[in-house]
Amino acid sequence: MTSGQYVVDMGEFEGTLGPTGTGSNFHEWEAPNSADTLELTLDITPDGEQISMAVREGSKDGRVIAKLGEEPVYQHYTLETDVEGGTTYWIELEPATNVYVEYHVDLESHEKLGEPTRYRPVGLYRPGVGTPGNSVMSTVGPTDPLDALEPDEEAYYSPMTGTSMACPAAAGICALVVDAARKNGYDPDPAEVIATVEATAEDVHTAYTPWNVGAGFADAETAVRRAESGDFAKFNETELVDPDAPTSLAVSGSRSDDGDAFTGGQTNQVEVIVSDLSHGAEVRDTVPAEWTVEDAGDVERVELVETSDGEVKRVYLGSVAPTETPATRTYFAEAPSDATETGDYVFGSAEADSAKTDDWVAFGGTDTNTVVAEDTDA
């Protein structure tokens, strides 16, 4: 028994798995009302065969909350996970190809007691989130078989790809969450940090599945904002990505600005408000080419593009996650100052685009602003 925990249930079950094609075995377990954790210890005969053991919530095809079995099992294998008291769980044992084994599982459930257990390790038996891990520049040892260059006696750098490169980014995001929380008087436990990073991740790509990216691509800024306010997520807030979800982006919102009449050189403050969003998306607005967009507010970049109606400027205002809505993005545009540039100018529509959908969707409508006179201060 782990220090600081009290055993509330014990049991065991056994069976036979295989041959191939016979499917999984399931064992039902109802968590006592006071249960906080479940610990399963698996023994198989013969050793070294590959089987998986998973804990499903509610039913045989329910959500997998913990899983082991990525490698062959030697001696015994222990799986521990948090559970909700009073909930029914199904323990699934599934054989790999050409496996025939006898198994025995010891079950022990605990109630957490006192402060020490809140810092115990927390395990996830699926991908949690995705972070950048492709062609990351890293130090590389001179005898490393993955070296991109010829071995030598000097340390050098090389781009590498994989989970080893993505994990430091994920760890850094978790560190930012903890730091933001503690600076504001909060002290999250590991489970709260993981849940917050997962709950704020975004499902932004059609290739995402729960098996390759878990809850989606990590959104460090949104996770940190939640930590600053002490709004830590619970595990039941985590939604794994859905590869079968509709790929059309749904967005609603509005636009507003300082007015509709300007003299040359006057600045127009524009606000783009995203009220509702089905997927995380990048947001932009459309500005007449003659107006100058200031490097201020939420502007990330400005692009001059040719459209069927002539040249316009696309003002990119960063990304918005569904959990952030309603979200306001602000920028400033200066009216053209030359006497020949008076007249009407159309702003908008605002648009949103998600990598999940790869299509810009307009929202917020357009508005017409008039430059009534040249810049009198020029």
- Residues spanned by the domain of 159: 136-237
Choose one of 119, 154, 186: the last residue of a domain. 119
Domain-embedded: residue 242: no
Please tell me whether residues 269 and 368 are part of one structural domain: yes
Over residues 340-374, the pLDDT tens digits come to 899 999 998 999 987 666 679 999 999 999 999 87
Q: Does residue 154 carry a pLDDT above 80?
A: no
Please tell me whether residues 280 and 342 are part of one structural domain: yes
Domain-embedded: residue 45: yes
Cα dist from 79 to 29, 38, 45, 75, 107, whole Å: 15, 8, 18, 14, 10
Choose one of 68, 89, 119: the last residue of a domain. 119
The shares of helix, strand and coil residues in the chain, as percent rounded to the nearest 5, are 15, 45, 40
Asked if residue 53 lies in contact with residue 92, where contact means CB atoms within 8 angstroms, the answer is: yes
Please tell me whether residues 232 and 178 are part of one structural domain: yes
Mean pLDDT of 217-227: 93
- Residue 3: predicted pLDDT: 44
Q: Does residue 120 carry a pLDDT above 50?
A: no
pTM, full prediction: 0.48
- Residue 309: predicted pLDDT: 82
- Residue 5: predicted pLDDT: 59
Please tell me whether residues 255 and 345 are part of one structural domain: yes
Backbone angles phi, psi at 190, to 5 degrees: -55, -40
Please tell me whether residues 269 and 326 are part of one structural domain: yes
Q: How far apart are CA 202 and CA 199, in angstroms?
A: 8
CATH code where residue 291 lies? 2.60.40.740
Number of domains in the chain: 3
Q: Does residue 294 carry a pLDDT above 80?
A: yes
* Number of neighbouring beta carbons within 10 Å of residue 233: 22
Query: pLDDT over 90 for what percent of the chain?
Result: 47
Q: How far apart are CA 173 and CA 129, in angstroms?
A: 11
- Residue 48: predicted pLDDT: 77
Domain-embedded: residue 328: yes
Q: Does residue 151 carry a pLDDT above 80?
A: no
Q: How far apart are CA 335 and CA 340, in angstroms?
A: 12
Q: Does residue 150 carry a pLDDT above 60?
A: no
CATH code where residue 37 lies? 2.60.120.510
Please tell me whether residues 255 and 233 are part of one structural domain: no
Please tell me whether residues 110 and 141 are part of one structural domain: no
Mean pLDDT over each residue of the chain, to the nearest integer: 84
